[in-house]
């Protein structure tokens, strides 16, 4: 039965990749949409539970009156049928209704909504451009994804379990008191109006305080994770104390905002107890007066007392629920600052998969300045025939990385176009584009998974033999055999640590090269692919890389000019423009920038012309 209710909603169902609404209420509605069929049932069962609870209090007063009027000797004979019916309702109907209410609230709603919100947020975030993640802490972004799930789930749950139940109970209590004597319903209504205004007054302030508190929590999380992620750099520069101070400033801010939040809680407690005192005196005082004048019975006074005492205890819980709702509202608003950001690089509605025939690349008047007036690319045009191997060089900031990022469509160009086999990269799906391009970077990071998972990332459907062949060609198989992690996993099953920190730079690079070899894409980009390797391994890898280039269109970026001297062609970028284009020998004979850089090399690297 539990599974049946749990599976009424699928939180991971595929849906259109829309940007989550930035408006809080619109966001909540979007999360409730899959549950719309079951929300009325949650409301109905909650209503019945609340009515039964107030009805039990009313009947307890009636029972006292029946006992008083009939006396011990005649009570059972006169009222046995009524008492048995009520007992059966309490024994069977009441537990059944409460159980169905909890099945809908907990199994259908709570067990699905939290992960639905997290999954949708994570899915949207994965579609963001690389620049989006470069502009924020990874820890803060992950914190916002993780915290929005519990916030939306708990808010919805409490809206039914708390607010709806309490509203129904208060209405039922008011009707019971009015049925006893209309004058008892008046103080209840006055209290309810005062209570609502007081809750609203406090809750609005709590929402603001909660959003600031949530933002401070995300900041602390971001700074702490940043230090842990870069712990080697922290220790290398002996900046432990600096990192302590960096985190401490955020933690002090968090403490201050939490204290402001707690002040509101203390203020809330005082006002709530004052209102509850007014409720008890306002209802029980008139009830006793009406009894002394013979207008109501002892049982009715008892019922009024029970209702007021129950409501006295419930009011604190209701207030807490409301505060939690506004607290969650602040948390969600803070999370939506990242989650509800539109993706700046998106597939067109009619985007088709990239169809590779020859892997020829055409770059026409490409312009991209990252929103600045200088830097980036300024009208680059370049034709790379299928199968040609092009070396791309230039001083730092010349535009090499910009060109590669635009080719991979990590960003959209501000002007011009890039076409592969006549298809604009802006018109094809991003996934199909990147599936046709293999890239090895200077600092290839690995996933915090096994060596096998990292290499197979290049081609998940590849066989074990294919994986080992790629690792062998990348000069990685021998050292992988000797790997072991603290959990006792060895070889290809060993975990590499976050970003591959358990491996040396050369080992990480060789696994990254094996991953691209296994992918075997028709277009290959090498960005300082062997810079982390020692000379002996580099020589072996260079031979393998030249073999891997066969039949592929290649763009190789290197500061060590000797590594690209054998390319079919060398393109020189300077200040975002193509300034030279030719073979190694042609460019040396021309006596231009390339020849100048070649003669000024120190140890095979470009001189620093800053």
| Tens of pLDDT, residues 358-394 | 999 999 999 988 766 666 788 899 999 999 999 998 8
Instruction: Give the Cα separation of 367 and 379 in Å (integer).
Output: 5
What tokens were used for 309? 């005492």
Q: pLDDT higher for 498 or 79?
A: 79
**Beta-bridge partners for 417:** 364
Q: How far is CA 381 from CA 362, 399, 579, in A?
A: 8, 13, 11
Instruction: Give the Cα separation of 192 and 164 in Å (integer).
Output: 15
Rounded to the nearest 5°, which phi and psi values hold at 608? -90, 110
Query: Does the pLDDT of residue 397 top 90, yes or no?
Result: no
Instruction: Give the Cα separation of 321 and 379 in Å (integer).
Output: 60
What tokens were used for 35? 């549950």
SS (H, E, C) 388-449: CEEEEECCCCCCHHHHHHHHCCCCCCCEEEEEECCEECCCECHHHHHHCEEEECCCCCECCC
Instruction: Give the Cα separation of 527 and 341 in Å (integer).
Output: 31
CB 474 within 8 A of CB 451: no
Non-local CB neighbours of 392 within 8 Å, separated by 6+ positions: 400, 403, 555, 556, 557, 570, 571, 573
Query: Does the pLDDT of residue 401 top 60, yes or no?
Result: yes
Q: Is 108 exposed, middle or buried (0-12, 13-18, 19+ CB in 10 A)?
A: buried
CB 541 within 8 A of CB 512: no
Best-predicted range by mean pLDDT (145-149, 169-173, 203-207): 145-149
Bridge pairing between strands 553-557 and 523-527: parallel
What tokens were used for 184? 């008892």
If DSSP codes are grouped into helix, strand and coil, which group holds residue 259? helix
CA 548 to chain centre: 38
Query: Does the pLDDT of residue 107 top 60, yes or no?
Result: yes
Mean pLDDT of the 286-306 span: 82
| Tens of pLDDT, residues 507-523 | 888 898 899 999 999 99
If DSSP codes are grouped into helix, strand and coil, which group holds residue 157? helix
- In this predicted structure, what is the pLDDT of residue 82? 86
CB 474 within 8 A of CB 464: no
**Beta-bridge partners for 428:** 352
Q: Which domains does the chain have, with CATH numbers?
A: 2-11+19-339 (1.20.1560.10), 353-436+524-529+552-610 (3.40.50.300), 443-520 (3.40.50.300)
Non-local CB neighbours of 277 within 8 Å, separated by 6+ positions: none
Nearest alpha carbon to residue 272 among 350, 363, 221, 197: 197
Kindly report the pTM of this predicted structure: 0.74
CA 358 to chain centre: 39
Which of 297-311, 532-546, 569-583 has the least mean pLDDT? Answer: 532-546
Q: How far is CA 453 from CA 126, 514, 529, in A?
A: 19, 12, 21
Instruction: Give the Cα separation of 429 and 425 in Å (integer).
Output: 8
CB 315 within 8 A of CB 276: yes
Nearest alpha carbon to residue 477 among 465, 495, 461: 465
What tokens were used for 224? 């702490």
Nearest alpha carbon to residue 323 among 313, 333, 331, 312: 331
Q: Which pLDDT band, with edges at 50, 70 and 90, does 607 fall under?
A: very low
Nearest alpha carbon to residue 558 among 525, 585, 596: 525
Q: How many CB atoms lie within 10 A of CB 227?
A: 19
Instruction: Give the Cα separation of 399 and 395 in Å (integer).
Output: 9
Query: Does the pLDDT of residue 602 top 60, yes or no?
Result: no
- In this predicted structure, what is the pLDDT of residue 480? 92
Nearest alpha carbon to residue 79 among 88, 70, 87: 70
Nearest alpha carbon to residue 6 among 96, 98, 116: 116
Query: Does the pLDDT of residue 606 top 60, yes or no?
Result: no
Q: pLDDT higher for 348 or 528?
A: 348
Q: Which pLDDT band, with edges at 50, 70 and 90, does 14 fall under?
A: low
Non-local CB neighbours of 143 within 8 Å, separated by 6+ positions: 217, 218, 221, 222
CB 510 within 8 A of CB 540: no
**Beta-bridge partners for 605:** 602
| Tens of pLDDT, residues 65-99 | 788 877 887 888 888 898 899 889 889 998 999 99
| Tens of pLDDT, residues 547-583 | 788 889 999 988 778 778 888 999 999 888 999 999 9
- In this predicted structure, what is the pLDDT of residue 64? 83
Instruction: Give the Cα separation of 368 and 127 in Å (integer).
Output: 21
Instruction: Give the Cα separation of 87 and 387 in Å (integer).
Output: 86
| Tens of pLDDT, residues 230-277 | 776 787 778 788 888 888 988 998 898 888 888 877 777 777 778 878
């Amino acid at each position: 039965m539990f599974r049946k209710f749990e599976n009424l909603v699928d939180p991971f169902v595929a849906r259109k990749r829309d940007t989550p609404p930035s408006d809080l209420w619109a966001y909540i509605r979007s999360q409730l949409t899959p549950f719309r069929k079951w929300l009325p049932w949650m409301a109905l069962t909650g209503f019945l539970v609340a009515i039964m609870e107030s009805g039990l209090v009313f009947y307890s007063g009636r029972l006292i009156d029946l006992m008083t009027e009939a006396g011990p000797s005649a009570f059972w004979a006169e009222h046995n049928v009524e008492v048995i019916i009520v007992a059966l309702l309490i024994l069977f109907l009441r537990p059944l209704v409460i159980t169905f209410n909890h099945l809908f609230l907990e199994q259908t709603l709570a067990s699905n909504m939290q992960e639905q919100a997290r999954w949708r947020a994570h899915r949207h975030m994965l579609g963001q451009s690389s620049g989006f993640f470069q502009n924020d802490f990874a820890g803060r972004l992950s914190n916002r994804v993780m915290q929005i799930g519990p916030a939306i789930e708990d808010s919805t749950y409490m809206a039914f379990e708390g607010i709806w139940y309490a509203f129904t109970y208060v209405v039922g209590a008011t009707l019971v008191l009015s049925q006893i004597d209309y004058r008892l319903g008046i103080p209840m209504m006055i209290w309810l109006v005062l209570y609502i205004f007081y809750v609203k007054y406090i809750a609005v302030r709590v929402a603001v305080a909660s959003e600031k508190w949530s933002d401070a929590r995300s900041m602390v999380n971001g700074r702490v994770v940043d230090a842990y992620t870069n712990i080697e750099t922290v220790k290398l520069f002996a900046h432990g104390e600096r990192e302590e101070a960096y985190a401490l400033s955020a933690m002090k801010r968090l403490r201050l905002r939490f204290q402001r939040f707690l002040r509101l809680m203390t203020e809330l407690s005082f006002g709530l107890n004052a209102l509850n005192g007014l409720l008890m005196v306002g209802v029980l005082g008139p009830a006793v007066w009406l009894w002394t004048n013979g207008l109501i019975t002892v049982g009715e006074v008892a019922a009024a007392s029970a209702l007021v005492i129950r409501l006295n205890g419930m009011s604190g819980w209701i207030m807490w629920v409301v505060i939690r709702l506004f607290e969650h509202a602040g948390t969600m608003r803070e999370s939506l600052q990242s989650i509800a950001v539109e993706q700046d690089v998106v597939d067109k509605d009619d985007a088709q998969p990239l169809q590779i025939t020859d892997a020829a690349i055409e770059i026409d008047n490409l312009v991209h300045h990252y929103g600045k007036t200088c830097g980036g690319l300024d009208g680059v045009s370049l034709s790379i025939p299928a199968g040609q191997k092009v070396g791309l060089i230039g001083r730092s900031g010349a535009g090499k990385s910009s060109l590669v990022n635009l080719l991979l469509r990590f960003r959209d160009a501000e002007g011009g176009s890039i076409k592969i086999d006549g298809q604009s990269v802006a018109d094809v799906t991003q996934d199909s584009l990147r599936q046709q391009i293999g890239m090895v970077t200077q600092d290839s990071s690995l996933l915090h998974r096994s060596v096998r998972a990292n290499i197979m990332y290049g081609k998940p459907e590849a066989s074990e033999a294919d994986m080992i062949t790629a690792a062998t060609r990348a000069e990685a198989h021998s050292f992988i055999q000797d790997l072991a992690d603290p959990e006792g996993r060895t070889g290809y099953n060993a975990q590499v640590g976050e970003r591959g920190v358990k491996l040396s730079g050369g080992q990480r690079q060789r696994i990254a090269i094996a991953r691209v070899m296994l992918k075997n894409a028709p277009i290959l980009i090498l960005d300082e692919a062997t810079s982390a390797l020692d000379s002996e391994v580099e020589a072996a890898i260079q031979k393998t890389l030249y073999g891997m280039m066969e039949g592929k269109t290649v763009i190789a970026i290197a500061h060590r000019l000797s590594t690209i001297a054998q390319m079919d062609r060398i393109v020189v970028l300077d200040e975002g423009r193509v300034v030279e284009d030719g073979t190694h020998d042609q460019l040396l004979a021309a006596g231009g920038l390339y020849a100048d850089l070649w003669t000024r090399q120190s140890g095979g690297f470009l001189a620093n012309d800053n």
